[in-house]
Amino acid sequence: MAFTGKYQLESQENFEPFMKAIGLPDDLIQKGKDIKSLSEIEQNGDHFKVTVTTGTKVIVNSFTVGQEAELETLTGEKIKSTVNLVGNKLMVSLKGIDSVTEFNGDTIIATMTLGPIVYKRISKRI
């Protein structure tokens, strides 16, 4: 399955409670809640480069499926973890957050779970 492409955020659920739970300051939460972030995914075999641009903030993570890599979190912290590919889903756990990114045609559904809070983002290929 080819994941390469650019995807624009279309909708999200539980943004504010999730960002509060991970410790993002209220001013950044208010600034970020209405920004339609852009995700660019480059895939070369099992190697991925994911660039997420939200306003002026850019997070770039490069990893090879099944191998430990240093990944930047939403708060800017860098954590070593392993991303796994299960069918059409990229899955990783970072500091108690379970992240699943599901590719479905021209749609990406990203779900991040921290305890009882489930943050869901739906993006479309542009």
**Domain range holding 73?**
3-123
> HEC string of the chain?
CCCCEEEEEEEEECHHHHHHHCCCCHHHHHHHCCCCCEEEEEEECCEEEEEEEECCEEEEEEEECCCEEEEECCCCCEEEEECEEECCEEEEEECCEEEEEEEECCEEEEEEEECCEEEEEEEEEC
Which residues of the chain fall below pLDDT 70?
1
What's the structural domain count of the chain?
A: 1
Instruction: Supply the pLDDT for residue 74.
Output: 83
Where residue 25 sits, what CATH number does that domain have? 2.40.128.20
Q: pTM of the predicted model, to two decimals? A: 0.90
Instruction: Supply the pLDDT for residue 118.
Output: 97
Contact 8/124 with Cβ under 8 angstroms? Answer: yes
